[in-house]
Amino acid sequence: MGLAKAVQLEASKSGQDIERAAQALREGLLVGLPTETVYGLGANAWSESALRAVFAAKRRPFNDPLILHTSAASRLGEIAAQIPPQAMRLAEAFWPGPLTLLLPRTPRVPNLVTAGLPTVAVRIPDHPLTLELLRRLEFPVAAPSANPFGYISPTTAAHVFDQLGDAVAYVLDGGPCRLGLESTIVGFDEGIPTVYRLGSLNIDQLVRVVGRVGQRQAAGAAPPVPGALPSHYAPRTPLQIGHPPQPTDPRWGWLSLKTRRPDLPPANQIQLSAVGDLEEAARNLYAALRYLDSLNLTRIYAEPMPDSGLGLALNDRLRRAAAAH
């Protein structure tokens, strides 16, 4: 979408009118939703036509499940058939927040949400506009990231319009996302909390609440959780992890935590945090990738992040972005 068209759409179809967003969802339309992680493309989770519209707008394969969003743990009964004690401990510690729980589904949850699998991903987002919207609705909201499938996740309302403006009836504009990386998805393998997707909650935070935490790489033709495909979160410009070879090319880009390269044009470089702060780096990652992707570069090189804490999730996103090329 061109910039002028995106600006026109933003003026007429965005704002902080929660009731307008609620009514659009009740009518089976799609709404852009701010969360603390990324912007979601919201739809009535009980409406098959609305769910199909999400898959069509994103060009998302039906074997990639969706996350359901609700306003309170007391409403989990309509979504989850069983809630393990460890799941409740995590929910009490981190909801509202960037935690998604993978739980046994109730019969009411449509197969389109779960890709036909017996579990459903659910969370309570931590954004005041979206929380109030969810409280007003009679149904949970399915909301994958509001971007074309496989591309960089949106962290502002403008990103949503730039990519999906024609598909949305309205975008709740909640400003830039506070965290900038997707939620951490936790399932339960034989009762043991297991990370299926790294995200804004790091493993150490989970361990402090429930003790032992496993980790599972979920990939393949039918991923059990959203965002589990090996190629995802990718710019259109080829991305490669590691330092560029010598001699460098002025048409290359450079993404790092805080390292500058004197052999590449300054305009082609993004340092995610001048002080090496991983939370700041996570908040800036997707916007930085979008900027570099807009420069018509021939390649982007990305420096690996520290392999601990949030650095694990950052490296996960960089690996998936690199796998697309």
Q: What tens digit of pLDDT does each residue of 250-279 get?
A: 999 999 999 999 999 999 999 999 999 999
Where does the pLDDT of residue 4 fall: very low under 50, low under 70, confident under 90, or very high at 90 and above? low
Distance CA 4, CA 1 (A): 9
Predicted local confidence at residue 222, as pLDDT: 47
Closest CA to 94 of 10, 20, 204, 4: 204
Considering the segment(s) 239-323 as one domain, its CATH architecture is 3-Layer(aba) Sandwich (3.40)
Q: Percentage of the chain with pLDDT > 70?
A: 93
Predicted local confidence at residue 221, as pLDDT: 39
- DSSP letter (8 states) at residue 320: H
CA 1 to mean position of chain CA atoms: 21
**What number is the average pLDDT over the span 19-36?**
98
In the predicted model, is pLDDT for residue 302 greater than 80? yes
**What number is the average pLDDT over the span 107-122?**
96
Q: What is the pLDDT of residues 117-162, one digit of tens each?
A: 999 999 999 999 999 999 999 999 999 999 999 899 999 999 999 9
Predicted local confidence at residue 5, as pLDDT: 55
- Identical fold at 3-215 and 239-323? no
In the numeric block, which tokens belong to residue 112?
């389109």
The residues near 262 (Cβ < 8 Å, ≥ 6 apart) are: none
Contact 292, 283 (CB under 8 A): no
**What number is the average pLDDT over the span 65-72?**
97
In this structure, which CATH number among 3.10.20.340, 3.90.870.10, 3.40.50.2300, 3.30.428.10 belongs to the domain 3-215?
3.90.870.10
Predicted local confidence at residue 190, as pLDDT: 85
Q: Percentage of the chain with pLDDT > 90?
A: 88
In the predicted model, is pLDDT for residue 199 greater than 80? yes
CA angle 284, 288, 291 (to 5 degrees): 145
Average of per-residue pLDDT values in the chain: 93
Domain assignments of the chain as residue spans, ordered by start: 3-215, 239-323
